[in-house]
A and B are shown apart, each in its own frame.
Chain A
Amino acid sequence: MPAGSLMKHSRQSIVGLRALIPVLLLIFSFARAEELRILTWEDYIDPELVTRFEQENNTKVRFIYYEDDDERDFILANTDGSGFDIIVFDQTMTAPYTKNGWLHLFRREEVPNLVHVQMPMSNKPLPEELTSIPYSWGSIGLLYRKDKLTSPPESWMDFFRPDDYLRNRILVINTASTTFRLALKALGFSLLSEDPDHIAKARQLLREQRPFVRAYRNILFGEESELIAGKVWIAMAYNGDAMTVMEGRPELGFIFPKEGSMLWTDSIAILNKSSSKTLAKQFINYLNEPEINAQNAEYIQYATPNKAANELLPKEFLDNPTINPPQTDRFEVDRIPSSSMMRDMIKYFIQLNP
C-alpha cells in the first residue's frame, strides 16, 4: 500500500493542503485535455514506465499523492469520489468505496492482462466483474538503527513499550487502524480482534507509548529522513519502503517481530466519475504486462500479485524474506474492521495525535 514520502510538509501545511484540494481539483478539471489523474502514494510507480506509457499513448499522467490511508479517505470524502481517474488504495476499503458508488465496475475481459493477476495470499483468480485489481502486497516491520540500539528489536513490545533511552526516538505510522492492530498484535491478541477489553488494552498501550513518539507518520527517504539523520532510532515501516531506505545504508536494519505482523494488499481502481475510463483501463493493462509489471515491482521493492511477472523476477527478489514475508499463522491478512470499530479507533487515535 505505501510508499515513503519525499514530502516534508509539516502537519499544518498538510491541513492547508487539504483545505485547498477542492480548489485544485476544479482547476485541473478545466485545464486538461486527455490525461490521467492518479491518486496514489508517492514514488509508488516506476516513473520510467509512466513516461513510456505517456509517449506510446500521447497522453499525460498526473499524480496526486497522499501520505497515509486516512488522508486518502479524507480526500475522497471531500471530493465525493470525483476528480481522479485512478486511485491506488488499501484493498480493504474496496467494499465501502464500491458501495458508495465511487468505483467503476467492469468486466475482467476489458483488461486483457488481468489474466496474469490473482488474489495475493489466497491465490484465487480475479472475479469476472470487479471494481479493484490487486497492485502489490506486503507487510509491516521495524526499521531501526543498528548502531544506536543497544540490541536489535525482536518483539513489537520493544517498539510499543520501549526502553527509556528511546524517548522521542520513535516514528509510528499515522493510520489509526494499522497502528491499533499492531498494538493488538504486540499484546498477543489477534490483529483482527474487536474484543472491547483487547481494544481498551491496546488503547492504553498506545497512550503509554506516546511520550516516546517523535511523530506519527511514515518514514521519509533520502537526506530528510530522521532515521538517517539519527534523530529517530526505530520506526514502524512498510517492508518495501524499508528496502528502499536501507539501500547503501548498512547502519539500518529491518525485522519482522517474532509475534508476526499484518499482510496487506494494495489495489488499483477506476473511479466511477472518471471521464477517461478507457485510457485508465489501457494504463492498468499496461501495468500488468509481465515485463512492465516485473520492472515496476523491482523498482518499488514490493511483491506483485502478477504471476507472469513473478516468473520474470530474479531469484534474489523472490527469495528476499523482507519482500516476501514467510507465510505463517503469525502473519495475519488484513481485513476491514466493523464500522463502529473503525470509528472508535479513529476517535482514540486522534486523541493521541492532536
Chain B
Amino acid sequence: MLQLKTKVTLLLLPIIVVPMIVIGIHFYDRQADDLLKEIDLRIQEEMKIAGERVHSRISIARGNIGLISHSHLIRQYFNLETATQRFYLYYRPILELFRSYQQVFPEYISIQLLDQDGTEQVRIDASETPFSLELPVQGLIEDYPQSGARDLTRIIPSPDVTAAPYLVVLKAISAQTFTDWNTDRQFESAGYIVIVTRLDDLIKQTEMARIGQSGKLYMLSEKGDRYSFSDSKNESLARILQSTMNLGPATATISIDGSSYLAGNTQVMQNLHIAAVWPMSELRESAINLARQISWLTLFVTSIIVVLLLIVIHTQLIRPINSLTEFTRSLSRSRMDVGESEHRRYRHMLARYDEFGELAKAFRELDGNLRASNLKLSYIAYHDNLTGLANRHTFGVFLQKTISAAKRHDYKVALLYIDIDGFKQVNDTLGHEAGDKVLREIAERLNSVLRSEDIVADFASYSQHITSTKVSRIGGDEFAIVINHLQQPQHAGAIAERLITTMHPPFYVGKENFQLGASVGISLFPNNGSDAQELLKCADIAMYQSKRKGRNRFEFYDRSIDEEAFRKHKLTQDLRLGLQTHRLELHYQPQIRTLDEETVGYEALLRWHHPEEGYISPVVFIPLAEECGLINQVGEYVVHEVCRQYREWLDQDVAPKKIAVNISPFQFSEKCNMADYISRTLNLFNLPGNMLELEITETAIMQSNRIHMAQLEALKELGLSIAMDDFGTGYSSLASLRDLPIDQLKIDKSFVQRIEDDPQGQGIIKAIIAMARELEIEVVAEGVETKGQLQFLRQHACSVVQGYYFSKPLNADATFTYLTHRHSLTKHQEG
C-alpha cells in the first residue's frame, strides 16, 4: 500500500515541480530586470551623493576663505607696510585665527596666507600631516586670473603616491576685499588665502557606499587612476576603472577579463571623477537567492499537494483496496467465520459499479474455481491415483484413529496385510501399463468382497474427502484392510479367506491371462499390539509367514514366528531402498608411507546409516547383500561413487594417488562382469585405471572357487592394482601367493594390535614382511593406533600403514580438508 502511495506521489511530483521551475525562471527574468533598473538608479544616486559631498566641501572652504579674508586682522595685516611690523604684531593673532578655523574644520590640513608674490606669510598645518605639503603656488597664482572666477579650486595630488589627493581652494585678497569703494588699487592683489583640505575621508566615505551587495564607487583622477585612501593595489580594478572613463553618467555595461560590470562615471570637477562599478555576477547570486526561495516554495506547495494526494489516494484507492483484500481473505475462510457486518460490507463491495466491484466479482469467481480444484487436490493427496483407494498416508491416519476409538470403546480391530503373489512377473513381462491395469482390477475385486461386509461403517465420518477407505493400497502390490468392531478373530479369517478366493479367477490383459494369488497376514488389536506401528509390523510378519508357508493363504500373527528371519527380510528391503536413496556413504582412511609419512592412498569404506536403526556395520549388511543378490549393486555403487569422488578431487587438484575399494568374492560371479563395469565407469569419469585398487580378502581368494584368474588378469589389464586384505587370517600358501597377480598385502589389524605385547605377533609380522619383500609385494599394515606400533613397523620396513594413529576414516568433506592440508603441506615442502 505504501508502495502504491509512493508510486502515485512520484508520478505526480514532476507535474507539480516542473511548473514551479517554469514560474521560477519567469520570476528570475522579471527580477533581473527590476534589479538592473534598481542598480542603475542606485548608481546615479550614489554618484550624485558623492559628488555633492565634494561640492559641499568646496563651498564650505570658499565660505571660510571669505570669512577669513573679511577679518580685520587680515585687513590690518595688509595695511602694514613692513614685514617687521606684520610679524611683531599680527603673526600670532592670524595664526590663532587660522588655528580656530582648523579646530572647527579638522579636515583643513593647511591654511595659508600668501603675499602678492606667493611668498608664505602665515601658515598653519594639521599636526598629523606626516610630510611637508608644498603647493605649486606659482602655478596656482598664474592660473587664477584665467579662471575668471572669484576663487580657484584644484585637486593636488599628494606627494606621497599612495596617499589621497588634496583639494586646494585659493582666493585672492585685494583692496576691494575690504571695502565696497572703488580704490585706485582696484585690481591689485594684496595676497592670497589658501585652504588645503583633505579628501581621503570623502574617498573613504565614497568607497564605503555599496550598490547592491558588492557594487562600489571610486574617485578617480582625470587619467582614470583611482584616488585611494589605502595603498592596496588592484590591477584588474584599475583596468575596470580606466575603462569607465569612456562612459558618461548614464550607466553602461563593460566587460573586463571576462567579467561584466554595470558602470557609470561622472566628473565632479577638474581632475576628479566618480566611477560606480557593479559586478553583473550579482545577478547570478540574486538568481541563486531566488532559486532558493522558489525551492522552498516548491517544497511547501509539493508537501501540501502530496498530503492532499495521499488523502485522496487513501480514501479513493487504498481503502477500497484494503476492503477488497479483506473480502478476498474472507473467501478463503469458511462462511461461518465471517460476521454479519462483514457480510454486509462485502455485499456492498460486490454491488459497486466501478472497477473495484468488478474486481470483487472476479475474486468471487476465482474463489469458486479454487474451491473446486482444492477438492480435487485433497482427493489426490489422500488417495492412490491409480486405484482410487486410500493411500498409505490416509491408511496410517485412519488406522491410528480407529485404534484410538477402539481403546476408548473397548472393542477389537483386525488389520489385514495383503501381498499379491506373482504380480512382479506381470510387471516384468507385460510392462507397467498392464501392471497398472491389473492393479486396478485387484482393487476392484478386493472392494467387491468388502462391499457385502459392513465392517467399516463409521469410516465416512473420518473425513468428508475420503469416500472409500475399505481397502488401502500401501505399497506396489501391497494392500491393507482395517476391520472395525471385530466380534471374533475368526471373522477376520473368514474375510481373509474370501479375499484370497476372489483372486482365484484369472486376470485378463489383452489376450493374455494370468493366475495371481494373495498372501494375507492378520494382526489383532489389542492382542498383538497397542499402536498402529506395532500392529502393522505384526501383520507384515504374519504375511511373510504366510508367504513362507506356501502363499495363497492367510496367517494370524504368531509370536513364535522367527523374528530374526523377518528382520533380515526387512533389512534387505531397507538396503535396497538405501541404495536407491543413496543412504550408503563412503568414508576414506588415508594410507601413510612410513618412510616419510606421505599419504600414498586411501581406502574407501562403506557406511550405512539406517533411518531407524542408525549405523549398521558392513560386517552385517555385506553378507546380507551377498545372500540376497544385492552385492553386485552395492559393489557397482561403491565403484561409481569412488570414481565420481576421485574425478571431483582431480578437478580440484587435490586427488590422492589411488583409492582402494573392497570387493566381495560374490562380485566375481559370472552374472556380473565386473571388469566391464569398472572399465565403463573409468571411461565415464575419464580416469586412469591405476587410481583404483581392489581389496579382496585373503579368505575370499583362498577359499572360494569363485575367483578366476582370468577375471583378475582382466582387471589388471585395466591398470588396477590388487591388494590382498586381512592377510594372515586365511592361511595362504606361498605358492598360491606367487601365482596370484597381487600387488599388495594388507596385514590384518589383529596382528598389528598385538605388536606391543605379543612377541609371537611380532614374529608373524616380521615373517610376512620378509616374505612380501621376496615376492616384491608391498606391505600395508592396518589398524595402526599407537606410536609404538608405528615405530616397530617402520623399523621392520613395512612400507605403508593405515590406522587411527594417523587418521580415522573421514567422510568426503573431511577428506577434502585433509587432502588440501596435505596438498599444501606437500607443496610447501616442494617449494
Contact = CB atoms under 8 A, between A and B. Distances in A.
Interface in B77-96: 80, 83-93, 95-96
Interface of B: 72-73, 76, 80, 83-93, 95-96, 99-100, 124, 127
19 contacts: A70-B92, A73-B88, A74-B92, A77-B76, A78-B93, A96-B84, A96-B85, A99-B85, A176-B92, A336-B88, A339-B84, A339-B85, A339-B88, A342-B91, A343-B87, A343-B91, A346-B91, A347-B95, A354-B127
Interface in A96-144: 96-97, 99-100
Given A77-B73, A77-B76, A78-B73, A96 B95 contact: no
Contacts of B124: 350
Contacts of A97: 89
A74 B93 CA distance: 5
Contacts of A29: none
Contacts of A93: 88
Given A77-B90, A99-B85, A339-B86, 14 more contacts: A73-B89, A73-B92, A74-B93, A77-B73, A77-B76, A77-B92, A78-B73, A78-B93, A338-B84, A339-B87, A340-B87, A342-B91, A350-B95, A350-B99
A38 B687 CA distance: 149
Contact of B80 (A15, A100, A336): A100
Contacts of B72: 78, 80
A97 B89 CA distance: 8
Contacts of B99: 350
B87 A77 contact: no
Interface string A74-85: 101110100000
Contacts of A99: 85
A100 B89 contact: yes
Nearest to B124: A350
Contacts of B86: 339
Interface in A9-36: 15, 18-19
Q: Which 3 pairs of residues, A with B, have the shortest CB-CB distance?
A: A339-B84, A339-B87, A96-B88
A302 B83 CA distance: 35
A100 B85 CA distance: 7
B127 A351 contact: yes
Interface residues of A, number: 27
Contacts of B100: 15, 19
Contacts of A78: 72-73, 93
B93 A77 contact: yes
B125 to A, nearest CB: 9
Contacts of B88: 73, 93, 96, 336, 339, 342
B87 A342 contact: yes
B89 A77 contact: yes
B481 to A, nearest CB: 137
B520 to A, nearest CB: 142
Nearest to A99: B85
Nearest to B94: A77
Nearest to A70: B92
Contacts of B85: 96, 99-100, 339
Interface in A306-352: 336, 338-340, 342-343, 346-347, 350-351
A97 B124 CA distance: 25
A78 B92 CA distance: 11
A100 to B, nearest CB: 6
A102 B661 CA distance: 155
A282 to B, nearest CB: 29
Nearest to A79: B72
A80 B84 contact: no
Contacts of A73: 88-89, 92-93
Given A77-B89, A96-B85, A346 B95 contact: yes
Nearest to A337: B88
B89 A96 contact: yes
A340 B91 CA distance: 10
Nearest to B76: A80
A350 B92 CA distance: 9
Nearest to B127: A354
Contacts of A339: 83-88
B92 A346 contact: yes
Which of A74, A77, A342 has the largest count of B CB atoms less than 10 A from its CB?
A77
For A74, A99, A351, the residue with the greatest tally of chain B CB atoms inside 10 Å of its CB is A74
Contacts of A15: 96, 100
A353 to B, nearest CB: 11
B75 to A, nearest CB: 9
A78 B84 CA distance: 18
A346 B91 CA distance: 8
A339 B83 CA distance: 8
Interface in A168-212: 176
A306 B95 CA distance: 38
B557 to A, nearest CB: 137
Q: Which of B72, B73, B84, B127 has the most CB of A within 10 A?
A: B84
A347 B89 CA distance: 14
Contacts of B73: 77-78
A108 B83 CA distance: 31
A151 B124 CA distance: 41
A347 B100 CA distance: 15
Nearest to A18: B96
A99 B86 CA distance: 11
B767 to A, nearest CB: 127
A36 to B, nearest CB: 24
A346 B92 CA distance: 7
Q: Interface centre among B84, B90, B92, B99, by most A CB within 10 Å? A: B92
A78 B74 CA distance: 10
A354 B99 CA distance: 9
A97 B72 CA distance: 18
Nearest to A92: B88
A96 to B, nearest CB: 4
Contact of A74 (B80, B83, B96, B127): B96
A165 B547 CA distance: 144
A173 to B, nearest CB: 15
B88 to A, nearest CB: 4
B277 to A, nearest CB: 41
A12 to B, nearest CB: 9
A93 B99 CA distance: 24
B122 to A, nearest CB: 9
Contacts of A347: 95
A78 B76 CA distance: 9
B85 to A, nearest CB: 6
Nearest to B79: A80
A340 B119 CA distance: 14
Contacts of B93: 73-74, 77-78
A18 B100 CA distance: 11
Nearest to B102: A354
A97 B86 CA distance: 11
Nearest to B121: A343
Nearest to A336: B88
Contacts of A343: 87, 91
A226 to B, nearest CB: 25
Nearest to B93: A77
Contacts of B80: 100
Contacts of B90: 77
Nearest to A95: B88
A99 B99 CA distance: 27
Contacts of A19: 100
A76 B87 contact: no
A307 B93 CA distance: 37
Interface in A56-75: 70, 73-74
A23 to B, nearest CB: 14
Nearest to B75: A80
Contacts of A350: 92, 95, 99, 124
A326 to B, nearest CB: 31
A339 B86 CA distance: 8
Contacts of B95: 346-347, 350
Residue with the greatest number of chain A CB neighbours at <10 A, chosen from B88, B90, B99, B100: B88
A74 B89 CA distance: 8
